[in-house]
Structure 1
Amino acid sequence: MAADAHGTGGGGGHGFTAELSRRGPIAVVALSGELDHDGPQPLRDAIGQALAGGAARVLVDCTGLEFCDSTGLNTLLQGRLDALAAGSTLELAGIRPAVARLFEITGAGTLFTVHDTLPEEAG
C-alpha cells in the first residue's frame, strides 16, 4: 500500500519522513531522517492514522532514523500510550546505535518492545 502519511520537518535541511504502510492487522511506520523539535508531526499523523485504521500492532521501523532528540522520544512515548488506549501496541525495530543511546540514557527502552530488525510478519 502506498504511503498514507508522510512529511518533512523543517529546520537545517534535515528532512524527516514517516511513511505508513499496512500488512494486514500490522501497521508499519518507516522513519527516515532526523526526528527532532522541527518535525514530529509526520510521526504523530502516521501513528494516528494507523490506530484510526484499527491496527492491532504498530511497528515503527527506525532503520532510516539518523537522529532522535527528546521531542522525538516524547512523540514515540505518546504514540505508545495512544496505542495502549486503542488496544494496540507500538513496537520499535532497527534502532541505530546513536538513537539507541537516547533510549538507554533515559530508560525509555524498557517501555517498548524493541526488535533488532523488522519482524518477518511485517516485512
Structure 2
Amino acid sequence: MQGGLTVSVHTQGTSSIVTIAGEIDVDSAAAVRDRLFECVERGSVRLVIDCSELDFCDSTGLNAFLAARLRAQAAGGAVHLVGVQPAVARVFEITGAVQGFTFHETLAEAVGE
C-alpha cells in the first residue's frame, strides 16, 4: 500500500475482516477502495473494517468507504466499522455519512453479530 498505510484482509465465513492502519488520503484511497471491492467480488458481502489503527481519513478515503458500502449493499450485504478514532469519526459526522454504516466499539462485537 501507499506510504505508511497497511491493509490486511482475512475471511471468516461470508465476512471479510479488513484491518486498515495508517492514513487514507488522495494517494491511497483508490487502493483501499479496490481492496474492499475485491472482498465483495470474492463473495464477502459483509465487510468488517477495523479502523482502530486508522489515524487519518480524508474525503477521498470516505468516498472509498461509501463506494464499498454501495457495492456490498448491491450484493445484499453491509459495511461495519470498528474502533473508529475521533479524528476519523469527525469526517463521517460532518458529512452525515454516519447514517450509512454500522459502528462497533470492538472487533469481537462486530464479528459476533
Q: Same fold by TM-score, threshold 0.5 exceeded? A: yes
Is the 2:80–2:110 Cα contact (8 Å) retained in structure 1? Answer: no
Determine the structure 1 residue equivalent to 2:19: 30
Question: What fraction of aligned residue pairs are identical, expressed as a percent?
Answer: 45
**Secondary structure class of the residue paired with 1:119:** helix
**Secondary structure class of the residue paired with 2:107:** coil
How far does residue 42 in structure 1 lie from its aligned partner after superposition? 2.9
Determine the structure 1 residue equivalent to 2:9: 20
Cα deviation, 1:67-111, whole Å, max 9, x if unaligned, reads 000000011001100111111111111100111111111111111
More helix by share: 2
Determine the structure 2 residue equivalent to 1:3: none
| Equivalent residues in 2 for 1:1-123, closer than 5 Å | 7=1, 9=2, 14-120=3-109, 122=111
Structure 2: where are the runs of 5+ without partners? Answer: none
Aligned equivalents of 2:59, 2:45: Cα separation in 1: 27
How far does residue 121 in structure 1 lie from its aligned partner after superposition? 6.6
Aligned equivalents of 1:105, 1:15: Cα separation in 2: 25
- The amino acid across from 1:88 in the alignment is G
TM-score (norm 1): 0.83
Is the 2:104–2:110 Cα contact (8 Å) retained in structure 1? Answer: no
CA RMSD of aligned residues (A): 1.6
Runs of 4+ in 1 over 2 A off after TM superposition: 119-123
- The amino acid across from 1:30 in the alignment is T
Distance 1:70 1:23, change over 3 A: same
TM-score (norm 2): 0.90
